[in-house]
Amino acid sequence: MLEARWAQSLFVCVGLDSTFDKIPMCLHRPGNETKVDIANTIVAFNHQIVVATCDLVCAYKPNIAFYEENGPEGIAALWRTIADIHVTAPDVPVILDAKRGDIGSTNHGYVELAFNFLGADAMTIHPYFGAEANEPFLEQTDKGIIVLCRTSNKGAGEFQDLVMAGRPLYLHVAEHVANDWNTRGNCAVVVGATFPDELRKVRDVVGDMPILIPGIGVQGGDVEKTVLAGKDSHGCGIIINSSRGIIYASNGADFADVARLKTMELSDQINQYR
């Protein structure tokens, strides 16, 4: 699915980090909203974003935390959003940004939630428990397993930059994923756009494996540096995510039109540097 989108020069991933309080008031119901009203508003907002951008993106990435905060109705809103994407934009994969990872028996539950209940096409996971524990994810041959490697937050280096056997930990993670975990060809890694030098080093290690790259937009990642550091040998291989910079670009009734405009602008920038 990703390769088909890349073939159309589409590399933008829209992060559906939809928070009720930030959704334009034109979608709110007057009065005190119930959890059901909140869920319906989130679903309606996401739908309009998807309709406006689906011909411009390579993926959508809802972060599960923004749905979990609203309890069962929030999870239902996430399920409804993913189902809607599969109908509205069936050729666009959905990445569930859940960052799960535990012992193997627990991971079976995460797999059931992400893929069999919610219907996601890919999922972000932690590497810390190792390949043995993460086998329930890795054995999903028809799903994308996207492993955290070098994250976009300012304090990421506290552990990820620790040097072991002459190399920082994040490069060991990249090497293990590329050489040992990806035997089924379903793995990718996460590297933040806020660290282009590290992104370049990871690309050197993982070859043409896909890289999910958050941190563009509000977090301050530079598009030119990100593309030059992250693209693979074919000028592809990148899933460049922007969330708040696209979905909250306008708080008015034109929010979907502005989201489309911002997506087009980012897509054009990416292709300028490929």
State how far the Cα of 6 lies from the Cα of 211, in Å rounded to an integer: 13
What does the H/E/C string look like for 46-66? HHHHHHHHCCCEEEECCECHH
Contact at 8 Å (CB) between 192 and 153? yes
What is the model's pLDDT at position 4? 98
What is the model's pLDDT at position 81? 98
* 33 vs 39, more confident: 39
Question: pLDDT digit string (tens) for 37-62?
Answer: 999 999 999 999 999 999 999 999 99
231 as an active site residue: the answer is no
Confidence of residue 31 (pLDDT cuts 50, 70, 90): low
- The phi and psi torsions of 148 (rounded to 5 degrees) equal -60, 130
pLDDT at 30 over 90: no
Q: DSSP states of 104-141 as a string?
A: HHHHHHHHIIIIIIS--SEEEE--TTHHHHHHHHHT-T
Question: pLDDT digit string (tens) for 62-76?
Answer: 999 999 999 999 999
What is the model's pLDDT at position 217? 73
pLDDT at 220 over 90: no
pLDDT at 32 over 70: no
> How many CA atoms lie less than 13 Å away from 250 in the CB half-sphere?
16
pLDDT at 29 over 90: no
pLDDT at 224 over 80: yes
Count structural domains, the chain: 1
Q: Residue 144: give its domain's CATH number.
A: 3.20.20.70
State how far the Cα of 261 lies from the Cα of 257, in Å rounded to an integer: 6
Range of the domain at 206: 2-273
Share of the chain above pLDDT 90, in %: 94
Region 199-228: what's the mean pLDDT? 93
What is the model's pLDDT at position 243? 96
pTM score: 0.97
Residue with token string 């974003």? 49
| Amino acid occupying residue 236 | C
Strand (E) or helix (H) holding 225: helix 223-230
- The residue annotated as part of the active site, out of 99, 154, 201, 262, is 99
What is the model's pLDDT at position 219? 73
- DSSP conformational letter for 29: P
Question: pLDDT digit string (tens) for 166-211?
Answer: 999 999 999 999 999 999 999 999 999 999 999 999 999 999 999 9
pLDDT at 108 over 70: yes
